[in-house]
Amino acid sequence: MSIAQQILTCSRFACRSVPINSRRRFCTSQHIMMSRHTHTKRIEGLDQNVWVAFTSLAADPSVVNLGQGFPDIPPPSYIKEGLAKAASEDRMNQYTRGFGHPSLVKALSQVYGKVYGRQIDPFKEILVTVGGYGSLFSTMQALVEEGDEVIIIEPFFDCYVPMVRMAGAKPVFIPLRLKPGKKTITSADWFLDPDELSSKFNSKTKAIIINTPNNPIGKIFTRDELQMIADLCIKHDTLCFSDEVYEWLVYKGHQHIKIATLPGMWDRTITISSAGKTFSVTGWKLGWSIGPEHLTKHLQTVMQNTLYTCATPLQEAVAQGLVLNYELMGQPECYFTSLAEELEVKRDRLATILQEAGMTPVIPEGGYFMLVDVTSLNLDLSHITDDEAYDYKFVKWMIKEKKLAAIPVTAFVGDESKKQFEKYIRFCFIKQDSTLEAAGNILKNWAKS
């Protein structure tokens, strides 16, 4: 092909495919460039995201939003004041220690030292990250790679799967199963089958991820259940990544237990927490990983090669909030307990609202979400031909027609379990009473029609 012909083909291609930027002097074929500059293999198939899809749908101010998990109740005033105060200090506006602001890691060491009943080294056994998300990411990048398998319990917080896959590993699923025949269902009625769980472990299993209290079901794993998981971890020499961001949101009659405190587990567990969930400040994006030095040091390596350090004034404010509540631990004014009490009332209110509307809620033992079975509403959505699970169609329909937002639960399960969970949707109840009542009105009218 002569040069003239090449240029002609090139420019024809460019003309048809994209509007010509008049500033271009060279004939650059957008087509050739895009095929050369595609994404890396590590993000193959990871571009979809339930939050990106549903947050914009629910953003319409006329929609009552019980979807994404963030409070519309204010955080404690001292936490905001702490941030304002920190921001007014010169050095608090500049870089701090990469692995965690000293006053924060010291405060964490204090609080968690008490909770774990062991000395936790603030500099070697703690890493401060950008939210619980950042902790999960640092953990995966540090400890998981191609050839590894990671066991994930369904339903799971949706980011676990893309993070495992981005690390090059294979997710292996095991669903929580519902004990049949109960009239009022709670999250405690969902259990792991011991034989089924055991069958998922093999020599390639690098880690199991657990989330307790669980999002979206609200299950709090019992000591026996955690022991069963621990026994398998020890037997198969596997790590445990324990996502405990809702650790303080535990309702009456239940107790949050840290798997890292079980015998043999400290050395193989990374525990993940969140300031956003602890202090109702999800927009601060601070979290932390706690674990033994021989694991934490690899998370620190990832940190120093990804974003290096977290925001200073935010860390200072969280440190102060922790110190304040450490003094109050065990007392009713402690935010770690008072928030749970406040939420228990909302939990019960939402459950009642849902039951009155003819739905079957799964009463959570912890966390701030409630799963609801919508089968009894008998909503026929067969006219919607999109290739989506029932719950996705249901939620989109509900947002559009009823102006009420929730999150479809099949976003939290693997393909093989979709049928098992597609009649469930997830509501978030860390909302103002007025928001819950508004939802109640919508559901009441719906039940009538």
Contact set for other proteins, span 237-276 (CB under 8 A) = 237, 239, 263-264, 266-268
> Which residue in the set 9, 194, 283, 441 belongs to the binding site for other proteins (CB under 8 A)?
283
By CB under 8 A, tell whether 309 contacts other proteins.
Answer: yes
Distance in Å, CB of 226 to other proteins, minimum:
15
Nearest to 293, CA basis, from 124, 98, 55: 124
d(CA 357, CA 183): 16
Residues in region 213-242 near other proteins by CB under 8 A:
234, 237, 239
d(CA 436, CA 364): 17
* Nearest distance from C-beta of residue 181 to other proteins, angstroms: 39
List the interface residues with other proteins, window 123-162 (CB under 8 A): 129-131, 133-134, 137, 141-145, 159, 162
Residue number with CB closer to other proteins (39 or 448) = 39
Inter-residue contact 210 to 221 (CB < 8 Å): yes
Per CB under 8 A, the list member of 184, 306, 331, 441 interacting with other proteins is: 306
Q: Of the candidates 193, 213, 217, which has an alpha carbon nearest to the alpha carbon of residue 413? A: 217
Contact yes or no for 241/270 (Cβ under 8 A): yes
Q: Which stretch binds other proteins (CB under 8 A): 24-32, 177-185, 324-332, 341-349?
A: 24-32
Q: Which CB sits closer to other proteins, 61 or 180?
A: 61
* Backbone angles phi and psi of 184, in degrees to 5: -100, 125
Closest separation in Å from C-beta 381 to other proteins: 28
Q: Which one of residues 15, 20, 32, 384 is an interface residue with other proteins (CB under 8 A)?
A: 32
Q: Is the CB of 38 or the CB of 382 nearer to other proteins?
A: 38
Closest distance of CB 339 from other proteins, Å: 14
Tokens of 440: 């109640």
3-state secondary structure 267-323: HHEEEEEEHHHHCCCHHHCCEEEECCHHHHHHHHHHHHCCCCCCCHHHHHHHHHHHH
Please give the backbone phi and psi of residue 219, each rounded to the nearest 5 degrees, phi first.
-70, 140
Token output for 33: 């460039």
* Residue 83 CB, nearest approach to other proteins (Å): 5
Is 21 a residue that touches other proteins (CB under 8 A)? yes
Distance (Å, whole) CA 206 – CA 233: 9
Q: For residue 75, what is the DSSP state?
A: P
- Closest CB 153 distance from other proteins, rounded Å: 20
Nearer to other proteins, 28 or 222 (CB): 28
Is residue 16 close enough to count as binding other proteins by CB under 8 A? no
Query: Interface residues for other proteins in 55-84 (CB under 8 A)?
Result: 55, 68, 70-75, 80, 83-84
Distances (CA, A) of 414 to 47, 154, 155, 296, 426: 16, 7, 8, 29, 17
Using CB under 8 A, pick the residue from 153, 249, 311, 357 that binds other proteins.
311
Report how many residues bind other proteins under the rule CB under 8 A: 93
* C-beta of 186 vs 300, nearer to other proteins: 300
Q: Would you give the binding string for other proteins spanning residues 167-206, x where CB under 8 A is met? A: x---------------------------------------
Q: Is 33 in the site for other proteins (CB under 8 A)?
A: yes
Cα 349 to Cα 65, 167, 344, 424, 432: the distances in Å are 16, 41, 9, 19, 12
Q: Is 308 in the site for other proteins (CB under 8 A)?
A: yes
Q: How far is the CB of 313 from other proteins (least distance, A)?
A: 6
438 binds other proteins (CB under 8 A): no
Distance CA 349, CA 427 (A): 12
Residue 375 interacts with other proteins (CB under 8 A): yes or no: no
Q: Please, are residues 295 and 135 in contact by the beta-carbon 8 Å criterion?
A: no
Binding span for other proteins by CB under 8 A among 176-184, 251-259, 295-303, 360-368: 295-303
Q: What DSSP element (H or E) covers 32?
A: helix 30-36
Rounded CA gap, 327 and 423, in Å?
Answer: 45
Contacting other proteins within 351-370 (CB under 8 A): none
**Rounded least distance, CB 131 to other proteins, Å:** 6
Instruction: Kindly state the smallest distance separating residue 252's Cβ from other proteins, in Å.
Output: 27
Count of CA atoms in the C-beta half-sphere (13 A) of 277: 27
41 interacts with other proteins by CB under 8 A: yes
**Residue 46 contacts other proteins per CB under 8 A:** yes
Token readout for 220 is 């709090």
